[in-house]
């Protein structure tokens, strides 16, 4: 009985790890994040066209790179503060 409760408890804890990902409702907007690219671009041609447009506007490109850097820093600091928080985001 104790073993069965431990297995159920472990399953619930594993499911709770996915909770933040399921609540994410933000629309994919970045041309630099892998997840955003996968969710918003349907073909390589549309992504290439969008990327060419972005790289031709130097100011927009710098803003996009800065936003990506800030997001990466935020994730990195959260992982350092609590490495067991989300194993998918904290390799």
**CA dihedral for 83, 86, 87, 91, sign (positive or negative):** negative
Quick check: 36 and 28 in contact, CB under 8 A?
Answer: yes
Model confidence, pTM:
0.51
Task: For residues 39 and 27, give the distance between their C-alpha atoms in angstroms, rounded to a whole number.
Answer: 9
Note the pLDDT tens digit of each residue in 4-62: 888 888 888 777 776 665 666 666 677 777 677 777 766 777 878 888 888 899 999 89
């Amino acid at each position: 009985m104790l073993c069965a409760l431990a297995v159920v408890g472990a399953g619930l804890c594993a499911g709770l790890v996915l909770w933040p990902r399921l609540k994410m409702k933000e629309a994919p907007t970045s041309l630099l994040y892998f997840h955003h690219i996968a969710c918003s671009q349907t073909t390589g041609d549309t992504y290439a066209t969008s990327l060419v447009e972005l790289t031709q506007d130097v100011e927009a490109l710098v803003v996009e790179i800065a936003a990506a850097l800030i997001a990466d820093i935020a994730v990195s600091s959260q992982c350092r503060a609590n490495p067991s928080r989300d194993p998918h985001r904290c390799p």
